[in-house]
Structure 1
């Protein structure tokens, strides 16, 4: 093929997009629809628990539009990082939604699933080929067994394998955001430089436009570069808005590592073709000597209970740091006296929203706050202990005065009961890559036969 047109409808499946923008992309000759289904942006919980951040109804609404469009245009639909974190359960969850839509809409589509979850026993055999990414240290093998879920981040190759096997729809586990868009044009033999740069720019849908809320974009890749335009006729791409996306989630705005190599855009040029389309040329891709797959794993660190109260008392707010220091001291004393717990048995965090909760000591506005929300987060090895500590702190969160007050103030709990059990708390335990001889060896592709609805 001399060129490939990639339709990127939205930055994340389930976020929603105007139906008219997808219709316009099809009219403009889209060859493939590519959409990301997940991220680690929201922390380790979704990987650790194997659950999705997005609502099933929202994902179904987006998929219904995309599956219809793909079927009518007879072009592939690729979804990566299904179920937020790309676990096997996440892939199956999205596949179940697709199955229901396919039956309800009468769509005869071959759906492939690509699984990316990794087993600790298999990875232990690869210890000598697993190396840390900064700032992580060398992998301690027991860490693998401590993880509730581990995924490998695939490049384009497993997705291409599914497409070459005849899939109309590919539902992939954890994948690089760029691999989702790069797979189809890589399969068609276009140059890697323009492909990977274009894939990076379209990964978040309309974020590379002047109005990211107006829908996604269409990237047309050829042998010399790519052209990008918004799907909304009233939206625009500019050289600045397109070039700026290389600043997003990258260590270096001129390079970005993929499993197979590195995108290099230091010589790229960005030229406005008109008031809404941008032409990019000069990108290149440098293949790596060793193909690597990034490993992501999450594990439970304990259990958490949260309380939240609000302060409007101007006297307390005038010396809020003194009040917070007293609160921390009193919680430790009361918990020790009442529950017999020491510092090693639990930990807590007191966050003052409205006063340095975001910027802490670098907050430029040093004036007293007008109102403050106080969040208490208690972390312990079990839920019962975490909740018990929060309950001991309850009277303090309701009535603690400053040292110079001769009366008990009344603060305002946001909920009743004041304590909310948040359940298990997770942390990322793996920030490593594993060297592989084959880019598809860690992944499993299934391609069931199409079903007539």
Structure 2
């Protein structure tokens, strides 16, 4: 494989075609990245951004067709240029099922396109029993503001993953992988792996990886495609893959604000990126040069844990209000709705409010910001979402059905008629199935950077 030998190099160029596998990108941007000399293609396949369901249920957020479309172009590009393709957090949450799901798509594409790339699967799912032993040994620690971990919390999780750094990815490539399908990984590890493996300094490698983690988000036109980062001994340069977009110092620097508690420091499994002294300079109208990034190696390598468990079962209803009288007193109406639901549920099926839960959200009014919403005055129209959570689906639906007449005809106390509101769907109740919550915000003291992860290889068979 090109440039993957042990010989020293002066720089390494990483292509990040999109912020998430399956999000799509123009094919022309991939061709341009190859012409500019990409040494590796890295693409993130997942995130916790969309909530705990995808980990708890081990289901992908993206459709198979979208992932296959992206992978077809990337696999063909990697084969043609003889460079590795790295996919992180496969299947959205990086569970073992997620890795296997993406691997199945890769196998189909390889067979259809006559490719024969060697594929490594890196599994990151963790066994609760093994983690309980680590907990007993004092090797698991809470990250603020989480509390100390209890064994029963581990047992309650449907799936637990460890968030790998670059080391398992490097191990897979050094063992001959041309395609690396990683379970849960830091967004940056997939882009930093090859530069670090090829001897580039950690500061620029991790900083460049952070900037390109979301593809073209650091450009003037994020919809146009991804970016290319070139890391060397003194820093890195970054440019868009689309000729219609540009990177600017402000946009590049601003990406350190994205999903970080501290815009100057970011923890990885093996240490902390420090960009407090970094400088951002426009090389030309489209390219930015960054220097001054540092990396502080930690005394203890750690692996962050992510776990999700079922909190109950949900049923949702949604109705629309256009009545100006109700809207002029929408807070009072919502408070009355909450009170009436509790009363009717107890009268009808004998449940008290500690046996189930529900939430009333007023979309078009304050559903997003709540009490922080600065808007004043009555809204023009409001969508009322009722979300019921109960220990079983039948109970959640029963509560939503009891609330149905109230969400259709509940008047304010001063109205002498029943208003007619508008349900968005028929039937009005939509069963959402099990609901999940994240329950782990803890790290494990690693014995080695790779011992919590399993690497398996498979050889593709070329079609004649």
Q: Give the superposition deviation at 1:318.
A: 1.1
Match in the other structure for 1:124: 132
- Which segments of 5 or more consecutive residues in structure 2 lack a partner in the other structure? 1-8
Q: 1:97 aligns with which of 97, 105, 117?
A: 105
1:177 aligns to what SS in structure 2?
coil
Match in the other structure for 2:6: none
Match in the other structure for 1:369: 379
Match in the other structure for 1:145: 155
Match in the other structure for 1:42: 50
Q: 2:244 aligns with which of 231, 234, 243?
A: 234
Compare 359-368 and 399-408 and name the one that shifted more.
359-368
Tell me the TM-score normalised to structure 1 length: 0.99
Match in the other structure for 1:318: 328
Measured in 2, the distance between the counterparts of 1:405 and 1:45 equals 42
On the 8 A contact 1:111/1:450 being kept in 2, the answer is: yes
Q: Give the superposition deviation at 1:327.
A: 0.7
Measured in 1, the distance between the counterparts of 2:77 and 2:85 equals 9
Measured in 2, the distance between the counterparts of 1:451 and 1:196 equals 35
On the 8 A contact 1:110/1:451 being kept in 2, the answer is: no
Tell me if 1:136 matches 2:143: no
1:446 aligns to what SS in structure 2?
strand
1:22 aligns to what SS in structure 2?
helix
Match in the other structure for 1:159: 169
Q: Give the superposition deviation at 1:105.
A: 0.2
Match in the other structure for 1:27: 35
On the 8 A contact 2:16/2:212 being kept in 1, the answer is: yes
Match in the other structure for 1:3: 11
Residues 225-245 of structure 1 show CA distances to partners (whole Å, capped at 9, x for unaligned) of 111000011210011110000
Measured in 1, the distance between the counterparts of 2:370 and 2:140 equals 37
Residues 182-213 of structure 1 show CA distances to partners (whole Å, capped at 9, x for unaligned) of 11111111111110110011100001111111
On the 8 A contact 1:217/1:229 being kept in 2, the answer is: yes
Match in the other structure for 1:192: 202
- Which segments of 5 or more consecutive residues in structure 1 lack a partner in the other structure? none
1:126 aligns to what SS in structure 2?
helix
On the 8 A contact 2:107/2:460 being kept in 1, the answer is: no
Measured in 2, the distance between the counterparts of 1:363 and 1:235 equals 34
Measured in 1, the distance between the counterparts of 2:462 and 2:70 equals 22
Measured in 2, the distance between the counterparts of 1:360 and 1:345 equals 25
Measured in 2, the distance between the counterparts of 1:432 and 1:451 equals 41
1:92 aligns to what SS in structure 2?
helix
1:430 aligns to what SS in structure 2?
coil
Instruction: Calculate the aligned-residue CA RMSD, in Å.
Output: 0.7
Measured in 2, the distance between the counterparts of 1:265 and 1:360 equals 35
Q: Give the superposition deviation at 1:451.
A: 2.0
User: After TM superposition, what 4+ stretches of structure 1 lie above 3 angstroms from structure 2?
Assistant: none
Residues 288-336 of structure 1 show CA distances to partners (whole Å, capped at 9, x for unaligned) of 0000000000000100000000001111111111111111111111110
Q: Give the superposition deviation at 1:370.
A: 0.6
Measured in 1, the distance between the counterparts of 2:218 and 2:362 equals 35
* Aligned residue pairs, count: 453
Residues 220-267 of structure 1 show CA distances to partners (whole Å, capped at 9, x for unaligned) of 111111110000112100111100000101111111000000001111
Measured in 1, the distance between the counterparts of 2:373 and 2:45 equals 35
Match in the other structure for 1:243: 253
On the 8 A contact 1:165/1:447 being kept in 2, the answer is: no
Measured in 2, the distance between the counterparts of 1:273 and 1:354 equals 45
